[in-house]
Amino acid sequence: MQLPIYQADAFTSQTFGGNPAALVPLEAWLPDELLQRIAAENNLSETAFTVAKEDGFELRWFTPVAEVPLCGHATLAAAHLLWSEYGFAGGEIRFFTHSGPLIARRTGDGIALDFPAQIPRPVELEKHFVAPFGIEPEEALVEDMEGGKLLLVFASEQQIRDLQPDFRAVANLPYQGVVCTAAGKECDFVSRFFAPNVGIDEDPVTGSAHTLLTPLWSAKLGKLRLVARQVSPRGGDLCCELRGERVILEGKAVTYLRGEIIVPDWGQCHQ
Active-site residue list = 46
- What one-letter code names the amino acid at 77? A
Phi, psi of 88 (to 5 degrees): -70, 135
Cα 45 off chain centre by: 9
Q: What is the DSSP string of the chain?
A: -EEEEEEEEES-SSTTSSEEEEEEEESSPPPHHHHHHHHHHHTSS-EEEEEEETTEEEEEEE-SS-EES--HHHHHHHHHHHHHTS---SSEEEEEETTEEEEEEEETTEEEEEEE----EEE---HHHHTTTTS--SEEEE-SSTT-EEEEE-S-HHHHHH----HHHHHTSSSSEEEEEEE-SSSSEEEEEEEGGGTEEEES--HHHHHHHHHHHHHHHT-SEEEEEE-SSS-EEEEEEEETTEEEEEE-EEEEEEEEEE---HHHHH-
Cβ-proximal residues to 162 (8 Å cutoff; 6+ apart), any chain: none
Q: Which residues pair with 254 in a beta bridge?
A: 9
Please answer whether residues 57 and 94 qualify as being in contact, where contact means their C-beta atoms are separated by less than 8 angstroms: yes
Closest CA to 18 of 220, 268, 233: 233
